[in-house]
Amino acid sequence: MRTIVAAALLLLNASAFAQTQTAPFDMSGERPPGATITPRLTSPRPPPTPAAPVPPAVVAQPQPAAPAPQPTAAANTAAPRPGDVRRYVVPFSQLGLGGEYDRRSWSVYLTPEQAAAKASFTFAYQNAIVVAPEASALTVYLNNRPIGQQRVGSPDGPSAVTFEVPPSLLQPGANLVTFEADQRHRTDCSIQSTYELWSNIDPAGTFLSFTGSDAAQLSSADAIRAIGVDGAGKTEFDIVVPALEQPGTTKPLLRLAQGLSVLSSMPNQIFAFSTTSLPAGGPGKLSVLVGTAAELRPLFPGLPPGAESAAFAAFATDPRSGSPVLLISGPSWQAVSSAIDTIVSPTDRSSDIRRDVLTTERWSAPNAPLVFSDTNIALSQLGVKTTEFSGRRLRTSFNIAVPADFYANAYGEAKVLLDAAYTDNVMPGSHIDIYVNDNIASTV
């Protein structure tokens, strides 16, 4: 059973496309006469995050330079070493970086134990054969700090690259992960050729590795936010309820499922219910045992004695698999309902309290601000960076949200003000296209 938590809000995605020349240097002789190009576009299911071209000139505090590009490593997605903990980080089934410059950002929630552990970052990728390795690179940022840069040179098959994470860089709670691609074509200099450039990141080969078994511990209800994803970008909650068929369990279980969904804030969630046994654990999965102490004792002999006398909710370790299990119990179902409330109550929000953002950062950072009235929002607040671009096509995007009772025909205008400069070499006919929800809205 899959649960999707949807707010009755419309999310707008604005994309700006700038083409810096309409008559580029002609290298069409590199192709056979009459040959055409079929653009290859790789777009994950969630809306795209801000993209910017290379070389970027970001107006921000100085940051340490990214390490020099490393030679391509052999692909390696083997199991983690004994005692290490692996956290997959890509919340999509596929992740593609396309064009001359592309950038994707989202956040990964870590427990205090994971943030304190020694860590490394591994990603696996494959690129189009037309990408020039001497002029193209993939850069990985954690919390806006570059941890490594890899020359793009793996057209024949996936390659894995590992970077060490500097000490004290990770923090408990949300951590920003950014992939940035700088890609140039081997032979072609046309605008059309920019659609041939791509690098695909393999979610199953992209993860954080933590040294020590402490990083696997889940010590508080807040750790539900750190369940994360598996190698396919999915988050799974396996809820075991021996009394599942009893009518009185329906309402508290629905409240539990909704609360777990909102707490995790992940885009691709799966909820599975059973009555008999705990399923196998793994990355991106959380097993939840729900029932009275008498109902759970046959399934979990190590149930703490406190569950027989009062509402009880805590993490425990499954002695058979070693995986964390969330135990929700009590002497009666009334007590079980109270235990569920202690877990999900942080997600409760009064209907008369207006929220300022839609939570999108787990797949598209930053969160999308809600616009209710006349407002001026700097593009820098929406994740768009000041950029100097010397290529043929620049694409960047940002997200905003409007309330559920928004009717576009009954309101005023939304204006995009661009503060930009260009050289005399930019030819007449170059233009900036503004798209809203993939529909063109304006051309400048």
- What CA–CA distance (Å, rounded) separates 11 from 396? 17
Q: 235 or 322, which is more confident?
A: 235
Give the model confidence (pLDDT) of 68-117 as tens digits. 555 444 444 555 666 689 999 999 999 999 999 999 999 999 999 999 99
Q: Identity (one letter) of the amino acid at 327?
A: L
Peptide bond into 55 cis (omega under 30): yes
Q: What is the pLDDT of residue 78?
A: 54
- Model confidence at 188: pLDDT above 50: yes
Residue showing tokens 């580029």:
24
pLDDT digits (tens, 9 = 90+) for 414-433: 888 988 888 988 888 888 99
Q: How far is CA 376 from the centre of its chain?
A: 27
Residue corresponding to tokens 């809203």: 436
Provide the percentage of residues in the chain whose pLDDT is more than 70.
Answer: 81
CATH number assigned to the domain covering 11-214+366-443 = 2.60.120.260
Is omega for the bond preceding 366 within 30 degrees of 0, making it cis?
Answer: yes
Query: CA separation (Å) from 404 to 77, 370, 372, 437?
Result: 44, 10, 10, 16
What gap in Å lies between CA 95 and CA 201, rounded to an integer?
5
Domain spans in the chain, listed from the N-terminal domain onward: 11-214+366-443, 218-347
What average pLDDT does the chain have? 83
The candidate with the shortest Cα–Cα distance to 242, out of 159, 356, 345, 328, is 328
- Whether the pLDDT of residue 63 is over 50: the answer is no
The answer to whether residues 284 and 234 touch, using CB atoms and an 8 Å cutoff, is yes
For the 218-347 domain, the top CATH level (class) is alpha beta
Residue 119's contacts (CB-CB under 8 Å, 6 or more residues apart) are 164, 165, 170, 208, 209, 210, 211
CB 187 within 8 A of CB 27: yes
- 22 and 393 in contact (C-beta within 8 Å)? no
